[in-house]
Every structure is written in C-alpha cells, then in structure tokens.
A and B are shown apart, each in its own frame.
Chain A
Amino acid sequence: MVKDKIAIITGAARGIGFAIARRFAEEGATVIIIDLAQDAVDEAVAQLTTDGFSAAGYAGNVVNGEQMAEIFKTIHARFGAIDILINNAGITRDGLIMKMKESDWDAVIAVNLKGTFICTQKVSRYMMKQRHGVIINIASVIGLMGNSGQANYAASKGGIIALTKSTAKELASRNIRANAIAPGFIRTPMTDTLKPEVVENYAKAIPLSRMGEAVDVANSCLFLASDLASYITGQTIQVDGGLIM
C-alpha cells in the first residue's frame, strides 16, 4: 500500500507515532522518524533497521520553523521525494480552566497546532512541486467532544481538524490530500499506569467495550496514506470503537 514511499512521522520515537512508523515500515515504506531527543530518535530507528526495515531519523522541534525547514530540505535531498507526512507530535498539560497557567495553554497550542501548521507549510512546498502527497494529522476525539481538564488540548485538536480541512482545500489542485485521524482511548505506556477500574470505566462508554491499540490508529493511517483512499480528503476519521457518533 505504501511500498517505496517516503513517509515522515513526527513525534515517532515512541507511542502511537512509533506504532505508525513500524506499520508503514512493515508495508515497505522508508520511514523517517522526527522527535525531540537525538538518543530517542536513534533508538527508534535502530529498532526498525535491526528488524530489516528502511528507516532514518532526525532530532527536531516541530515548533521551530527554521529547524524543520532545514530537516525537510535534508530529507528531500537525501531521498528525492516526500510522499507522506504524518503530523503526530503532541503534548498534554492538563488542568481545569480556572487553574490553567497561560504557559500550559501556550505550550500545548504551540506543539500540537502550530507544529502541525509548520510541518505542513514546509513539506507542502515539496509536495506541490512533485504534484502529489498525503498529509495525515493526528487529532483526537477530545477535539470533537471536549474534555473537562483538557481545554488546551481540546482546542489544539479541534484546531487541527479545521487546519486539515483548509489544507485539503488549498492543496487539492496539486493532488495533495489531507485528512485527520481522531483516536479515542488508545492503550499507550501512559494509560498502562491507570488503575484497572479506571480503564474499565472508560471501556463501559465504548460500544466496542475495549481500549484501542496504537496499531488501530496506524492501520487507519495506512489506509488514508494509500491509493485506496485516493478520493478522500478533508475528512476526520474517528478510531474510537464507536465512542462518539
């Protein structure tokens, strides 16, 4: 589905980002991992190359436009194309609105929303020239339904969904598709620390009565990145076990 494609995934050293990278690598893509820390990037790349996959990595901060432009330029020069961009890098700084620090609001909006914009802006330059490309933005069901204690995160993810639609409209004439994925409750190292009864409570609200796996998100990315989705753009696909409908 994505054989020999060059796919960049931000925030891919671990968690959902790494699951996406692994899944794309399994399908024959060359995956390029971007994350903050060089050692984490190196470790993630090593895990994939040890398994015989084609992977490379760069340390960078998605909020730093100049740095990202330089990284994408290097990637383009090295691999000759950028076929797929998956904007996955994201953070949380939870707190009730009444108590939320402005710095926590700013940090979440910067990484999640501005970071997605910056990477889209820099990479679209290459995709426009090559007259094809796929951009996938990782949003969240929280961006659709809101969540107490996550005003900043919800706003950033809702913003990503709107950004995705604008990207889709602006770049469609250049054969570039842009879609968002809104994961629900996905099992990650972070949720593994939750008490079983808490997880059970979450699961009760989900029609498929279980938490999702990172690979569920990765599989949806794979579909959207492939030609199977060639007539789909500007959409938000929920991967949430039916949590919200």
Chain B
Amino acid sequence: MDIEQKVKEIIIEELGVEASEVTLEANFIEDLGADSLDTVELIMKFEEEFEIDIADEEAEKLTTVGKAVDYLTSKVG
C-alpha cells in the first residue's frame, strides 16, 4: 500500500471522518475537527504504524494531510 493511502486510512480511523473529507489540503484542526489531543494521538499513531520517531518540532509542522504525507514519505519512502 502506498504511503499516502495508508496515511489517509489512519486519519479516517483516528479522527472518524469521511474519506471524501481527507484531501491533501485538509487542515487537521480547521477542516477535520481535530482538537489538540487528537493531533497528539495522530502523531503517536503515525509513529507506531511507520515505526519512526517524530520529534515535537517536526510534529508541530504537520498541520495538513499533505504535509503529513510529504513528511512520512521523506522519512519512510
């Protein structure tokens, strides 16, 4: 499975949103209704699924689906 697809599936499951909402431009907080705890949980889930460590300063920058996909692709892909 490619990374973009896997990232989107994680987001759909963690945030309980529809696949159609999870566009690359979608902002986790503004568009997908995540709160600060959701974003922490999401990062933890990425770390678990992709078996990597994401530093706090990196995590703060991952505000949209696209940014998360790009970051994870660069780390894992």
Task: List the interface of chain A (C-beta within 8 A of B).
Answer: 125, 128-129, 170-171, 173-174
Contact with A along B34-56 (1 / 0, CB 8 A): 01010001001000000000000
A174 touches B37 (CB 8 A): yes
| A interface: dominant SS | helix
**Taking the nearest CB of chain A, how far is it from the CB of B12, in angstroms?**
16
Q: Is the CB of B37 within 8 A of A170?
A: yes
B9-28 near A? 1/0 per residue, CB < 8 Å = 00000000000000000000
Cα distance A170–B35 in the bound complex, in angstroms: 11
- For A170, give the chain B residue with the smallest CB separation: B37
- Taking the closest CB of chain B, its distance from the CB of A131, in whole angstroms, is 11
A125 with B37: CB separation less than 8 A: no
What residue of chain A has the Cβ atom nearest to residue B40's Cβ? A128
- Kindly list chain B residues whose C-beta atoms are within 8 Å of the C-beta of A171: 37
**Chain A residues near B41 (CB-CB < 8 A):** 128-129
Q: A129-B41, A173-B35, A173-B37 are in contact. List 6 more A-B contacts (CB 8 A).
A: A125-B44, A128-B37, A128-B41, A170-B37, A171-B37, A174-B37
Residues of chain A within 8 A (CB-CB) of B44 are 125
A-B contact pairs, 9 of them (CB 8 A): A125-B44, A128-B37, A128-B41, A129-B41, A170-B37, A171-B37, A173-B35, A173-B37, A174-B37
Binding site for A on B (CB under 8 A): 35, 37, 41, 44
Give every chain A residue within 8 A of B35 (Cβ-Cβ).
173
> Least Cβ distance of A178 to chain B in Å?
14
Set of chain B residues within 8 Å of A173, measured between Cβ atoms: 35, 37
Q: How far is the CB of A76 from chain B (nearest CB, A)?
A: 14
Q: How far is the CA of A13 from the CA of B44 in the complex (A)?
A: 33
Chain B residues positioned under 8 Å from A170 (CB to CB): 37
Distance of A75 Cα from B37 Cα, bound (Å):
23
CA distance A47 to B37 in the complex (A): 40
Residues of B within 8 A of A174 (CB): 37
B47 to chain A, nearest CB (A): 12
Neighbouring B residues of A125 by C-beta, 8 Å:
44
* 8 A-B pairs with least C-beta separation: A128-B41, A174-B37, A173-B37, A173-B35, A128-B37, A125-B44, A170-B37, A129-B41
Closest to B41 in A: A128
Bound-state Cα–Cα, A128 to B35, Å = 13
A170→B40 CA distance, assembly (Å): 12
Tell me the complex Cα distance, A125–B35, Å.
16
| B41 CB → nearest A CB, Å | 6
- Docked Cα-Cα span, A173 to B33, in Å, equals 14
Could you tell me the distance in whole angstroms from the C-beta of A65 to the nearest C-beta in chain B?
Answer: 15
In whole angstroms, what is the CA distance A129 to B37 when docked? 11
Minimum CB–CB distance from A233 to chain B (whole Å) comes to 16
CA distance A173 to B34 in the complex (A): 12
Q: Chain A nearest CB: distance from B4 CB in Å?
A: 24
